[in-house]
Amino acid sequence: MTSIDPELLPLLACPESRQPLQMADEGLLESVNRAIAAGGCKNVGGQPVDEALEAGLVREDGKVVYPIRGGIPVLLVDEGLPVPGA
């Protein structure tokens, strides 16, 4: 699993709400990836998502996860994925 430098993590925040972010755990990633595999996942911008997450950063309230692609966090509001059941 990809990880973010522990010194960088406290500096990252949700681009929409400014809530702190933390690494998404395996259970959360599995839940999001199941929704993606089932074809029922759209990002906040309304676009369908078909690529499973290798890692992600979850917002403090647990409602949105931002993907980490190639070791780089994608902190764009429209790229956030709603957390199933949140």
pLDDT in tens, 15-36: 999 999 999 999 999 999 999 9
Number of domains in the chain: 1
The residue range of the domain holding 37 is 9-82
Strands 72-73 and 64-69 turn out to be antiparallel
Highest-confidence range of 1-5, 45-49, 67-71, by mean pLDDT? 45-49
Return the ∠ at Cα 8 (arms to 34 and 4), rounded to 5°. 35
In a domain, 3, yes or no: no
Class of residue 54 by CB neighbours under 10 A (exposed 0-12, middle 13-18, buried 19+): middle
In a domain, 67, yes or no: yes
* Tokens (6 digits) for 34: 């199941």
What predicted TM-score, i.e. pTM, was given to this entire model? 0.92
Please report where in the chains the tokens 């925040």 appear, as a residue.
Answer: 13
In a domain, 72, yes or no: yes
> DSSP secondary-structure letter at 25?
P
**Residue ranges in 1-86 assigned as alpha helix (H):** 26-37
In a domain, 20, yes or no: yes
In a domain, 4, yes or no: no
